[in-house]
Structure 1
Amino acid sequence: MEVAPEDTAERVDRLIGHKKGIAEIRVALRIRTAQTVIRWLSGALAVVLLFTFIVANVAVGWSTIALANKIAIPIFALSAGTFWVIRSIEERAEGHYEKSARELKIELEAAEELRLLDAARLGLPVPDRQYSYKDSIPAELEGLRKDGRKYRRKHNVAQSVIILGSLGGTSVSALADTPAPLKYWAMGITLAVGAAAGFTGYYKWRERAFYLQQTADDIERHATAFDLGIYPYDEGEEHFRLAKLAKEIELLRVEQRKREQQLDQPHEGGSEVV
């Protein structure tokens, strides 16, 4: 059954409305999640500092730990203030922002399901779906590169901790008659270096960043070749070239998923990544 043009236009408008609603829910979810995390962390820190402050002053005395109190009291005030500010913002929120992160997740899933149902009812021809697929390539590239930059930053931070920690730990340990405070510092530096090395080897951030960037470059190469009409998209009708582009990009996505699965395997299987 062929869909009337008026019906098609109306349903396309509905799909656009669904996408706008989903985007708004996602933004609200990110903000509410950040607010919840900050509120819980600031509240927990304020409670811990208050408890430690009371116990330490009763057990040791104000004069003995006066310097520690001068540091702890401002941090406690800042943590408690942050908690109450975020709490008051949440109470005055409207629309999506007045809902909890859990409620927003459920609403997001429902909105995406409704969008898929409307898209299935629309029944757009295959060429139209292929054009829509091609138009989604820039967003796909941005997502891949964003994830690659995130993993690259994590790897660089871990490597910096390993390099600087190794040098600092060796220097502190080499001091003759190392006083007690420096021994604790050497112990903490060694622990940080070991943790950074362990996390780097386990999560393989450098490899993940490399493969994400490689996949993004390959997808961009195919998209550019299609736009310029050069090999391998220099022959055939446009719908044929669109189908070929979609096929090549899906193959690249499958390869990327396989690489991610291999990187998630134990270390013994990580050397087999291709």
Structure 2
Amino acid sequence: MLIQYRRDIADLQQRIRNRRLQTFGLFGTPIALVATVAAGVGSKVVFWLHTEMPNPIVNTFTASAFILIAASVVQFWAEIGGEVWDDSGTSVRDLKLDLALAEERHILEARRHTAPTADRQASYKERLPPEIVRLRMESRHYRRLHLLMQWLLFISSAAISAVTAWYDPPQPAKGVLIGLGFTVTVITAATGYFKPRERAFNLQQTADAIEQHATAIELGIAPYNAPEEARNLELFATTVEGMRADQRMREQQLDQPQQGQQQVI
């Protein structure tokens, strides 16, 4: 029963996403059509008021307008009478209400089937391997992002010196130097703001710590060597949740400006 509620909730979430896209298309396509026509008229007035517009530009505006008209007609047909969309005529607000009711029914059903604390703690231990895998994957992602940024920074910095030395004066390669300098500035700023190296280190550290405690409780070694299994499971769940809370706190600190991080610390 609980599985069916989860499926219903996931289905409603997907329907809400689809309906938002449909609504965006219904209202966005006519707006884009009006903007295209206005851009064509404005271009004619500003650039070619006393002459003919070039044929490629006229063809581009005309083709864009026809495509947007066709898209608007198809979308309105699907919305009004085509029965192509599952939720045609249904507002996102109604779907959100259905989702809230489904989540409430899921909570009520879950309360009626709540397992004992010892069973929940035991199942919590079994759910940790995917969490460790997720932390490691995110750590690898930020580590690769950091390496990519650093290599781009190294190459751009070296290229600036090489181009400057090759062209003296550097007027023929001024555009290249401007682009390389812009790249160096953007990468340096992005590295300092997003801090992918620190994020990768924190994620890897949390994953290793959780895995260490999972191995300890599996082998029954300290600090999970108490005679009562319930006591070990309770201590394990408390410890791991504390680690995950610390990880979230570190992520929040990395998202704050440097001055805000100093105040938090």
Q: Does 1:247 align with 2:262?
A: no
In 1, the alpha carbon distance for the partners of 2:157 and 2:33 equals 34
TM superposition shift of 1:57: 11
User: Could you tell me which residue of structure 1 aligns to residue 51 of structure 2?
Assistant: none
User: Normalising by the residue count of structure 2, what TM-score does the alignment of the two structures yield?
Assistant: 0.66
User: Could you tell me which residue of structure 2 aligns to residue 131 of structure 1?
Assistant: 122
User: Could you tell me which residue of structure 1 aligns to residue 252 of structure 2?
Assistant: 261
TM superposition shift of 1:189: 2.0
TM superposition shift of 1:162: 1.3
Q: Does 1:156 align with 2:147?
A: yes
TM superposition shift of 1:93: 5.3
Q: Tell me: CA distance 1:17–1:246, structure 2 relative to 1, closer, same or farther (3 Å).
A: same
SS of equivalent residue, structure 1 residue 230: coil
SS of equivalent residue, structure 1 residue 199: helix
Structure 1 spans left out of the alignment, 5+ residues: 1-12, 38-43, 62-68
TM superposition shift of 1:201: 0.5
TM superposition shift of 1:273: 9.2
TM superposition shift of 1:140: 2.2
Q: Tell me: CA distance 1:32–1:140, structure 2 relative to 1, closer, same or farther (3 Å).
A: farther
Q: Does 1:20 align with 2:13?
A: no
TM superposition shift of 1:200: 1.0
User: Normalising by the residue count of structure 1, what TM-score does the alignment of the two structures yield?
Assistant: 0.64
In 1, the alpha carbon distance for the partners of 2:152 and 2:106 equals 46
| Greater Cα radius of gyration, structure 1 or 2 | 2
SS of equivalent residue, structure 2 residue 125: helix
Percent same amino acid among aligned pairs?
39
TM superposition shift of 1:124: 2.8
TM superposition shift of 1:216: 1.4
Does the Cα contact within 8 Å between 1:155 and 1:200 map onto a contact in 2?
yes
Structure 2 spans left out of the alignment, 5+ residues: 25-30, 49-56
Greater shift, 185-194 or 151-160, is seen at 151-160
Q: Does 1:218 align with 2:205?
A: no
Does the Cα contact within 8 Å between 1:149 and 1:209 map onto a contact in 2?
yes
User: Could you tell me which residue of structure 2 aligns to residue 66 of structure 1?
Assistant: none
TM superposition shift of 1:103: 7.8
